[in-house]
Amino acid sequence: LIQPVTPELLVSPSSQDGDLGSECPEDRGNWTGRLDFLLSCIGYCVGLGNVWRFPYRAYTNGGGAFLVPYFIMLAICGIPIFFMELSLGQFSSLGPLAVWKISPLFKGVGMGTILIVSLVAIYYNMIIAYVLFYLFASLTSDLPWQHCGNWWNTDLCLDHHVMKAGNTSFPVNITNTVSPSEEYWSRYVLHIQGSSGIGDPGRIRWNLCLCLLLSWTIVYLCILKGVKSSGKVVYFTATFPYLILVMLLIRGVTLEGAWKGIRFYLTPQFDHLLSSKVWIEAALQIFYSLGVGFGGLLTFASYNTFHQNIYRDTFIVTLGNAITSILAGFAIFSVLGYMSQELGVPVNQVAKAGPGLAFVVYPQAMTMLPLSPFWSFLFFFMLLTLGLDSQFAFMETIVTAVTDEFPYYLRPKKASFSAIVCIALFLMGLILTTEGGMYWLVLLDDYSAGFGLMVVVITTCLVVTRVYGIKRFCRDIHMMLGFKPGPYFRACWMVLSPATMMALLVYNIIKYQPSEYGSYRFPAWAEVLGILMGVLSCLMIPIGMVVAVLQEEGTLWEVGAFPAPPGFAALPTLFKAEAATPQLQSPKPLMVHMRKYGGITSYENTAIEVDREMEEEEE
C-alpha cells in the first residue's frame, strides 16, 4: 500500500483560505471520557424491563430452569447481533440512516428504525412521568396509597393494616377486594374511571401533563450537547441504580418470609424446557432487554474512536445485563414473599409484571415496611435513573440519524433541532396524559416495537451478511480490532441469529392476541390502528427501495447488488483514524480536496487495496 502523503492542498482549517473549511460539515464529535461509551451502553440496556419483566417471565416459565434457555438465546441471538450493531456504527461513524450507504437500496431499514424509536420514545417518557409522579408522592410522612378512606377509594378497598391490627384469625377472601395502592393507581393517578375506553380519552390530567413536561425537560437538558453531555450524565444514572438495587436486595432478604418468594422465583421446573413457549419467551426477553434494532447501539458506537475494543465491551454489557436481571429478581421476589406472608396469600396472587408491579404491587409492599416513604423514594428513584438512560439513547438515535443526513444544515444547530424533536414528541404524547391515556399507552407498547422491529433486525442481518458481504464485514472488523470474528460469530450472523428471529416472528404472528388492559378489550378499529403501526415500519423498506432506484442511476439489481464503490465504506473511518496524525490535523481539508479536485488520494487507494485483496480471497 502507498504510504499516506499529505498533498499541498491539505491545509488546516485555520488556514487563510477560509472557503475550504466552510464547505465542510461541523464535526460529529466523540465521547470525551474513556468510560462514556461503556456506561452509556450499560444504561441503555439495563432498563425498566430488567426490573418488571424478567423476574415475572422467569417464574412463569420454569423458575431457575428458565436460565438455561435464557443464556442459550443470549449466545445465539443477543451477543452476535449486539456486536454486529456496534461494529456497523463504529466502522462507519454514521447514524442509523446514513449507515445504509453500504447498500442504498435498503435505506428504508433505517427509516423503519427511526419510526419505531419515535413511537417508543413517546410512551416510554410517559412511563418516566408516572415514576416522577410517584417519586414526588413519596416525599411525605405517610404514603397516600397506604390506607383506604380517601375520596378516590371505593367500598371494595381492603386495608391490610386494619386486618393486621384487628388480628383477623379467619382466612379472608381477597378475590373481590382491591388494595389501596391499586385504587390509588387507577382511580387517582390515571383517573381511568373518567374514560369509557380508548375512543373516549376524557380530560387531560394536568398533574400528569406537568410530570411529562418535566420528564422531557430533563431529557433535553441531558442531550443538549449530544454525547458530550449525556456521556457525563450516565456516570450517575448508569451506576446509581446498582447502589439502590443492592440496598433493596439487602433489605428484602432480611424480611420475614423473603425466602418464600425467592424459592418461588428460582425453584427449577425442568419439564418447562420441553415447551417451545419457554424458549420463545427467553429469546424475546433477550431481544428487547438488549435493545437491538432500536438504533441506540449503532448510534453510540458511531461516536467511538476507530480502534475502541467493542468486542470486550459487547461481553461486558450483555453479561452484565443478564446478571442485573437476575439480581433484580431477587430484590423483587424477596419483598413479594414478605408481602404474601403478611397478606396470607400465595406468592402467585401478588406477583405481577409491567406497570402492575411497579405502580401497584411494589408500592403496596413498601407500605408494610418501617420507613416506608424512604424505601418508596429509593425504589422510584431507581426506576427514574433506569428509564432516563434508555430515553437518552432513543433521543440521541433520532437526532443523530437526521443530523447525519443533513450535516451542513443541522449539525451547527443540533441543540435547536433536539429541542424541536422533544417538543414535537411531547405534544404527540399529550393524549397519554388524559383519563384514557393508559389505553393508548398499552396500544403503543403492544404494537410499536413488535413484529416491525423483528423485520428490521432480520433485514439488517441479511443485508450485512448477504448484500454487503460477510467477508467484507469481517475485514472491516479486522481493520478496527486487529482480528477477524471467529466461526461462532460467522455462524450466528449467517444462519443461527436470522433463523431464531424468523421463528420469533412466526410465533408472534401465530400466537397473536388482541390487546387488553385488565378486563377491557380493545375495539376492532384500535387493533387495526395498532397493526398499521407495526406494518408501517415494515413498509419503510420497500418505500426506501423505490426512492433509492429513482435517485440512483441503474436498475434495481445494480443498486442493490453493488452496495458501494470499492472502499467507500472504509473512507469515513479512515478519515477518523488519521485525524490525529501529525501529517493531517483535520480530515476536513482532505474531503474538500477530493470534492474540488478529484483524483485518487492515498486513503482511497488504501480502501481500494483492501477490497482488492478481499476479491482475490473470494476467487
b (16+ CB within 10 A) / e for 471-506 = ebbbbbbebbbeeebeeebbebbbeebbebbeebbe
What's at 226, amino acid-wise?
G
* pLDDT given for residue 610 in this prediction: 56
* pLDDT given for residue 226 in this prediction: 86
Q: What span, in angstroms and rounded, lies between the C-alpha atoms of 379 and 137? A: 12
Q: What span, in angstroms and rounded, lies between the C-alpha atoms of 69 and 207? A: 43
**Cβ 415 vs Cβ 225: under 8 Å:** yes
Neighbours of 303 (CB within 10 A): 25
Same-domain pairing of 78 and 149: yes
Residue 197 β-bridge partners: 200
Q: What span, in angstroms and rounded, lies between the C-alpha atoms of 561 and 556? A: 8
Query: Do the domain assignments include residue 9?
Result: no
Same-domain pairing of 289 and 415: yes
**Cβ 123 vs Cβ 445: under 8 Å:** yes
| 3-state SS, one letter per residue, for 6-73 | CCCCCCCCCCCCHHHHHCCCCCCCCCCCCCHHHHHHHHHHCCHHHHHCHHHHHHHCCHHHHHHHHHHH
Q: What is the mean pLDDT of the segment spanning 548-577?
A: 55
Each as own residue / partner, the long-range contacts of residues 520-526 (CB below 8 Å, 24 or more positions apart, any chain) are 520/197, 520/439, 522/197, 522/198, 522/439, 522/443, 523/197, 523/198, 523/199, 525/199, 526/198, 526/199, 526/439, 526/443
* pLDDT given for residue 613 in this prediction: 62
* pLDDT given for residue 357 in this prediction: 83
Estimate to the nearest angstrom the gap between the alpha carbon of 215 and the chain centroid.
Answer: 17
Q: Return all residues near 460 (Cβ < 8 A) that are at least 6 apart.
A: 84, 85, 109, 293
Structural domain boundaries enclosing 40 = 34-166+173-559
Q: What span, in angstroms and rounded, lies between the C-alpha atoms of 107 and 330? A: 43
Residue 578 C-alpha cell reads as 488519521
Query: Do the domain assignments include residue 333?
Result: yes
* pLDDT given for residue 593 in this prediction: 33
Answer with the one of 522, 544, 559 that is the final residue of a domain: 559
Grid cell 466461526 in the structure block, residue: 487
Same-domain pairing of 603 and 541: no
Please tell me whether 605 is known to bind a ligand.
no
pLDDT greater than 50 at residue 588 = no
Same-domain pairing of 302 and 361: yes
Q: What span, in angstroms and rounded, lies between the C-alpha atoms of 263 and 276? A: 24
Q: What span, in angstroms and rounded, lies between the C-alpha atoms of 473 and 475? A: 5
b (16+ CB within 10 A) / e for 251-267 = bbbebebbebbbebbbe
Same-domain pairing of 394 and 450: yes
Angle at CA 156, nearest 5°, toward 153 and 162? 80
Q: What is the mean pLDDT of the segment spanning 494-506?
A: 92
Q: Which of 584, 181, 565, 552 is nearest to 343 (CA)?
A: 181
**Cβ 344 vs Cβ 171: under 8 Å:** yes
Query: Do the domain assignments include residue 19?
Result: no
Same-domain pairing of 237 and 320: yes
Lowest mean pLDDT among 246-255, 323-332, 609-618: 609-618
Answer with the one of 559, 576, 605 that is the final residue of a domain: 559
Lowest mean pLDDT among 56-60, 486-490, 575-579, 583-587: 583-587
Query: Do the domain assignments include residue 314?
Result: yes
* pLDDT given for residue 573 in this prediction: 43
Query: Do the domain assignments include residue 24?
Result: no
What's at 598, amino acid-wise?
G
Please tell me whether 390 is known to bind a ligand.
yes
Estimate to the nearest angstrom the gap between the alpha carbon of 372 and the chain centroid.
Answer: 31
Residue 233 β-bridge partners: none
Q: Where does the pLDDT of residue 464 fall: very low under 50, low under 70, confident under 90, or very high at 90 and above?
A: very high
Q: What is the mean pLDDT of the segment spanning 398-424?
A: 93
Same-domain pairing of 551 and 592: no
Same-domain pairing of 87 and 44: yes
Same-domain pairing of 530 and 592: no
Q: What span, in angstroms and rounded, lies between the C-alpha atoms of 103 and 544? A: 11
Please tell me whether 389 is known to bind a ligand.
yes
Q: What span, in angstroms and rounded, lies between the C-alpha atoms of 136 and 127? A: 14
Looking from the CA of 110 toward its CB, the CA atoms found within 13 Å total 29
Q: What span, in angstroms and rounded, lies between the C-alpha atoms of 391 and 221? A: 12
Q: What span, in angstroms and rounded, lies between the C-alpha atoms of 388 and 410? A: 25
Q: What span, in angstroms and rounded, lies between the C-alpha atoms of 235 and 39? A: 7
* pLDDT given for residue 90 in this prediction: 95
Q: Return all residues near 110 (Cβ < 8 A) that are at least 6 apart.
A: 95, 96, 97, 98, 99, 100, 295, 401, 544
**φ, ψ of residue 45 in degrees (nearest 5):** -80, -40
Q: Where does the pLDDT of residue 64 fall: very low under 50, low under 70, confident under 90, or very high at 90 and above?
A: confident
Q: What span, in angstroms and rounded, lies between the C-alpha atoms of 312 and 487? A: 17
Residue 157 β-bridge partners: 178
**Cβ 253 vs Cβ 334: under 8 Å:** yes
Same-domain pairing of 492 and 597: no
pLDDT greater than 50 at residue 387 = yes
Please tell me whether 195 is known to bind a ligand.
no
Grid cell 450466528 in the structure block, residue: 492
Please tell me whether 289 is known to bind a ligand.
yes
Please tell me whether 50 is known to bind a ligand.
yes
Q: What span, in angstroms and rounded, lies between the C-alpha atoms of 328 and 611? A: 47
Please tell me whether 214 is known to bind a ligand.
no
Residue 82 C-alpha cell reads as 449486539
Q: Where does the pLDDT of residue 19 fall: very low under 50, low under 70, confident under 90, or very high at 90 and above?
A: very low
Neighbours of 466 (CB within 10 A): 12
Query: Do the domain assignments include residue 77?
Result: yes
Chain-wide mean pLDDT for the chain? Answer: 83
pLDDT greater than 90 at residue 250 = yes
**3-class DSSP state of 197:** strand
Burial class (CB in 10 A: 0-12, 13-18, 19+), 419: middle
* pLDDT given for residue 55 in this prediction: 87
pTM confidence score = 0.86
CATH number at residue 275: 1.10.4160
Residue 143 β-bridge partners: none
Lowest mean pLDDT among 338-347, 464-473, 494-503, 597-606: 597-606
Residue 521 β-bridge partners: 516
Residue 354 C-alpha cell reads as 409491567
Task: Kindly report, residue by residue over 133-170, the tens digit of the pLDDT.
Answer: 999 999 998 899 988 888 998 888 888 766 665 555 44
* pLDDT given for residue 419 in this prediction: 96
**Cβ 99 vs Cβ 582: under 8 Å:** no
**Cβ 268 vs Cβ 62: under 8 Å:** yes
Please tell me whether 46 is known to bind a ligand.
yes
What's at 416, amino acid-wise?
S
- pLDDT above 70 coverage of the chain, percent: 83
Query: Do the domain assignments include residue 12?
Result: no
Same-domain pairing of 136 and 251: yes
pLDDT greater than 90 at residue 436 = yes
Task: Kindly report, residue by residue over 186-207, the tens digit of the pLDDT.
Answer: 999 999 999 999 999 999 999 9
Q: Which of 338, 336, 373 is nearest to 358 (CA)?
A: 336
**Cβ 358 vs Cβ 383: under 8 Å:** yes
What's at 427, amino acid-wise?
L
Same-domain pairing of 350 and 467: yes
Task: Kindly report, residue by residue over 84-100, the tens digit of the pLDDT.
Answer: 999 999 999 999 999 99
**3-class DSSP state of 489:** helix
Query: Do the domain assignments include residue 259?
Result: yes
**Cβ 112 vs Cβ 538: under 8 Å:** yes
Structural domain tally of the chain?
A: 2
Q: Where does the pLDDT of residue 558 fall: very low under 50, low under 70, confident under 90, or very high at 90 and above?
A: low
Structure-model confidence comparison of residues 153 and 21, the more confident one: 153
Range of 494-498, 559-563, 580-584 with top mean pLDDT: 494-498
Q: What span, in angstroms and rounded, lies between the C-alpha atoms of 370 and 143? A: 12
